[in-house]
Amino acid sequence: MSALFSPIKLRGLTLSNRIVVSPMCQYSAVDGEANDWHFTHINSLALSGAAMFCIEATHVEAIGRITPGCLGLWNDATEAALKPILASVRKRSKAAVAMQLAHAGRKGSSHTPWDGGQLIPPAEGGWQPVGPSAIPHKQGEAPPLALDTAGLARIRDAFVSATKRAERLGIDAIEIHGAHGYLLHQFLSPIANQRTDQYGGSLENRMRYPLEVFDAVRAAFPADKPVGMRVSSTDWVDGGWDLTQTIAFANELKKRGVDWIDASSGGVSPLQKIPLGPGYQVPFAQAIREATGLTTMAVGLITDPKQAEEIVASGKADMVALARGLLYDPRWGWHAAAELGGTVDAPPQYWRSQPSTQKALFGATTFGTR
């Protein structure tokens, strides 16, 4: 039996396989509201064969967006915009739907990647970003506004409000974004966090605010639904956040009932030097899993079914999350099942597409016509 196509249980949620559609920013929302692009994108990848689809970074307040086109869940309009999309997914797909809740912090108010990704000044339609310290992400940029006590409370409460909205929408799981140089990662990394109060300095202090946000989200979400955390396992910069600190953070999250660690890396500094290659972040998921006993998710240049199978079968990670690979091949899960001897859920309208050599691919053996 394929390890990749074996079930896994996360609290009250049972996934039929170990494939996850990783959250992928689409930069296509208007005022934080999902639209026809998201309808097409989400419905398509919910039929990919992955057991869980994670909605892209969904920002908890307007100034927490990375770009003006980023998705949000901070008011009734952004909540209402997601309802018809999720209703359609539920009609056609058995995939669990997760949502990644996020705040961009000092990386907010940026152009989309295809427009250069640079900071947008308020005079040109941007806004004032915030962060743990008044240190810009990139040399020469305007600094963010250092968050005071009221600002920290506002953002923590915004995560709670978005969590409650996600529950009203019927979201099955939440992933908190603590990676890629966004706000919670900024608090963790000494590169971005140079505070002198209880939220800066020591590792314990730098972990404090991300742990407070996790606690608040976990308390606001139903106890039988899982909450995970995406982390950047290293900054890839000397003197920055690293794997040893990540494991310490993961152990603190374990005490609080985290359900998985999604092990990514980088994003907090343009000085990072990342040695890209197939599965280059898998060792982080493995190290965290071995050190903490937590369920981990491997992500990053996982493209081949046999590669994904080996990651899970060898115990390097419990799940694999794919992003670009699924954009290129939106039926990646089907093809992996065919190669590895697994089965996937698919709507009956598509059953006749399976190759003659794969009669059990969809768990259906006949397709009658008259």
CA dihedral defined by 192, 198, 203, 204, rounded to 10 degrees?
A: -150
| pLDDT score for 353 | 86
| pLDDT score for 362 | 87
| pLDDT score for 351 | 87
- Of 182, 199, 209, 328, which is the active-site residue? 182
The rounded distance, in Å, linking the Cα atoms of 64 and 210 is: 15
| pLDDT score for 360 | 78
| pLDDT score for 364 | 58
Q: Where are the domains of the chain?
A: 8-353
Residue 293 tokens read as: 């006993």
Parts of the chain with a pLDDT under 70: 359, 364-370
The rounded distance, in Å, linking the Cα atoms of 299 and 196 is: 34
The listed CATH number (3.40.109.10, 2.60.120.1440, 3.10.20.740, 3.20.20.70) that belongs to domain 8-353: 3.20.20.70
Residue 257 tokens read as: 């009932």
Residue 238 tokens read as: 């000397």
- Name 263's bridge partners: 231, 298
CA atoms within 13 A on the CB side of 282: 21
Per-residue three-class SS string for the chain: CCCCCCCEEECCEEECCCEEECCCCCCCCECCECCHHHHHHHHHHCCCCCCEEEEEEEECCHHHCCCCCCCECCCHHHHHHHHHHHHHHHHHCCCEEEEEEECCHHHCCECCHHHCCCECCHHHCCCCCEECCCCCCCCCCCCCEECCHHHHHHHHHHHHHHHHHHHHCCCCEEEEEECCCCHHHHHHCCCCCCCCCCCCCCHHHHHHHHHHHHHHHHHHCCCCCCEEEEEECCCCCCCCCCHHHHHHHHHHHHHCCCCCEEEECCCCCCCCCCCCCCCCCHHHHHHHHHHHCCCEEEECCCCCHHHHHHHHHCCCCCEEEECHHHHHCCCHHHHHHHHHCCCCCCCHHHHHHCCCCCCCCCCCCCCCCC
| pLDDT score for 356 | 72
What is the separation of C-alpha 120 from the centre of its chain, rounded to a whole number of angstroms? 24
Q: Would residue 182 show up in a list of annotated catalytic residues for this protein?
A: yes
| pLDDT score for 107 | 98
